[in-house]
Structure 1
Amino acid sequence: MKPFLLISTRDNDQAARAEYTSVARHARLRHRELAQIRLETAPLTTFGLDLAAFSGIFLGGSSFNVSDTDKSPLQERVENDLNGLLDTIVTRDLPFLGLCYGIGTMTAYLSGHVDRTYGESVGAVNITVTPAGRNDPLLADLPARFEAFVGHKEGSNGVPPGAELLAIGEACPVQMYRVGTNVYVTQFHPELDADDLADRMRIYQHVGYFRPDELDELAAMAKASGVDGSQHRLLANFTRRYTVAD
């Protein structure tokens, strides 16, 4: 089979490795079936990507925020690289699934509005599948309402032009949408279970997603939450739908 590709933009080695491991595990991919590039390490052109060589593309989370007002040269370069990549992906309607940072990047690319109105603290939230989502192959076998983990400083302030809303939340209304037929983004993290979230929180304990002294309490809340693995089906459905024989 053609491998899938995970594009990471995390400036932390441990976080980048953890993201790869969680995506691979919950998408049910072996390591040879999931390649990874870290876009924060070098410009996109240096990787010589041939998108036709991959069954589909994941874009992971990030410490960057699209709505940041003071952006470093690195962040600006990463965003420019991603905009160029999204131009190809959206125009060609290639299989794509953006996670958390992916929805902010896509919303901005589509000329939607991303701001701090709908940020969510780290924890579990209720996700409700819309009527359009219930008819979508990535969500068809998920419950109409399920829990998933979130933790983000910004959100999409409305559905961008041309997008189909597939899942909604309470504190952050836009939780998942589709562009065209094959391009998807989520605000929640379908790749995280309670252990994954606890590991991620330890890495980012001091960067403002929560008070550092809340770590143990939040980890315990994650364990006691109603997140039951339903959210992982989204990843498995994506890889099952788009796997291409080599």
Structure 2
Amino acid sequence: MRILFLMNDEGSPPGVLLEETQAQGHRPSVLVPYKDISHDLELPGSVPTSPDGFDGLVVLGGAMSILDEADYPFVDQTRQLLRAFNVARKPVMGVCFGAQLLADAHGGGVKPLGHTEWGFLPQTWLPTAQEDILLKDSPPDLPLMQWHGDTFDLPDGAVPLSTRPDCPGQAFRIGDLNWGLQFHLELDQPTLMNWAKLHAAELKDEPAPHIAQMEKDVATYHKPQAGFARTVMRRWLAVCEEAKAAR
């Protein structure tokens, strides 16, 4: 299968999700539309206008906000592509910014959260998660990495799958082939360490304490998060295979 990854920030690569796609023998195509960069020699860097030729779509995170989409033409292009994948019965996974854009594309709303969610924070899985093909048997209170300042309202008919006290919008499903995940399950260790530096710069703090804290967090939380990410990705790829067989 061929899986399209839209990387909306070079600081937010597909990480573990890309690794698992390759490990399962599938072909990833990684595009960076906001810079018109393609890591696939057969494709331009811009957002495709059609899902033709792909079996699934992963839309990753980014530092931009949907609320500033006038500055980012690729946002509406991605919104249209998300809808086209849904019509074509091809699975979608949206991560952080990608989850917000997925909710928006299907009629939900995106808005400022009012604070920044940062760090490895526990998820509360809802009963619906136990019936979900991707998230069933997820570890309770699993700490997953977050970094975002916007949130979303779910579109009509969407199924919430997890929540948090300070940011209820977390994991959700639209129909049977579209998943949104507000948390960053995809991150590898180098990206996490880079994020610690970027977060310190955003706060105008000295980086050393942030790096030291991230080193501790990575030692404690990254292995469980990466294992969870690989399980979720394998299950999602299986959905892609089933959807392809049914078309």
Q: Measure, in 2, the Cα distance between the counterparts of 1:153 and 1:212.
A: 22
Residue correspondence of structure 1 range 39-188 to structure 2 within 5 A = 39-42=33-36, 51-68=51-68, 73=71, 75=72, 77-117=73-113, 119-156=115-152, 158-188=153-183
1:137-193, CA deviations, whole angstroms, 9 ceiling, x for partnerless residues?
A: 10123224312101111112x322221101112221111111111011110011125
1:22-46, CA deviations, whole angstroms, 9 ceiling, x for partnerless residues?
A: 3312445479621111111349895
Summarize the Cα distance change of 1:218–1:155 in structure 2 as closer, same or farther, 3 Å threshold: farther
Summarize the Cα distance change of 1:165–1:84 in structure 2 as closer, same or farther, 3 Å threshold: same
Confirm or deny: 8 A CA contact 1:122 1:209 kept in the other structure: no
TM-score when scaled to structure 2? Answer: 0.80
Q: Measure, in 2, the Cα distance between the counterparts of 1:31 and 1:63.
A: 31
Confirm or deny: 8 A CA contact 1:190 1:235 kept in the other structure: no
1:92-113, CA deviations, whole angstroms, 9 ceiling, x for partnerless residues?
A: 3420001000111122223322
Confirm or deny: 8 A CA contact 1:191 1:235 kept in the other structure: no
Q: Measure, in 1, the Cα distance between the counterparts of 2:26 and 2:199.
A: 31
2:228 aligned to which of 227, 231, 235: 231
Summarize the Cα distance change of 1:149–1:47 in structure 2 as closer, same or farther, 3 Å threshold: closer
Q: Measure, in 2, the Cα distance between the counterparts of 1:223 and 1:174.
A: 24
Deviates most, 208-217 or 111-120 = 208-217
Amino acid at match of 2:100: G
Amino acid at match of 1:238: W
2:18 corresponds to: 24
Alpha-carbon offset, residue 210 of structure 1:
7.7
Tell me the matched-pair count: 233
Summarize the Cα distance change of 1:124–1:42 in structure 2 as closer, same or farther, 3 Å threshold: same
SS in structure 2 of the partner of residue 149 of structure 1: strand
List, as ranges, runs of 4+ consecutive aligned residues in structure 1 with deviation greater than 6 Å.
none
Higher relative contact order (CA 8 A, sep 6+): 1
Give the superposed CA RMSD. 3.0
Confirm or deny: 8 A CA contact 1:61 1:99 kept in the other structure: yes
SS in structure 1 of the partner of residue 75 of structure 2: helix
Summarize the Cα distance change of 1:78–1:178 in structure 2 as closer, same or farther, 3 Å threshold: same
Q: Measure, in 1, the Cα distance between the counterparts of 2:19 and 2:203.
A: 25
Amino acid at match of 1:162: G
Summarize the Cα distance change of 1:6–1:180 in structure 2 as closer, same or farther, 3 Å threshold: same
Alpha-carbon offset, residue 215 of structure 1:
2.8
Q: Measure, in 1, the Cα distance between the counterparts of 2:78 and 2:47.
A: 13
Amino acid at match of 2:235: N
Q: Measure, in 2, the Cα distance between the counterparts of 1:49 and 1:79.
A: 13
Q: Does 1:33 align with 2:27?
A: yes
Q: Measure, in 1, the Cα distance between the counterparts of 2:219 and 2:45.
A: 44
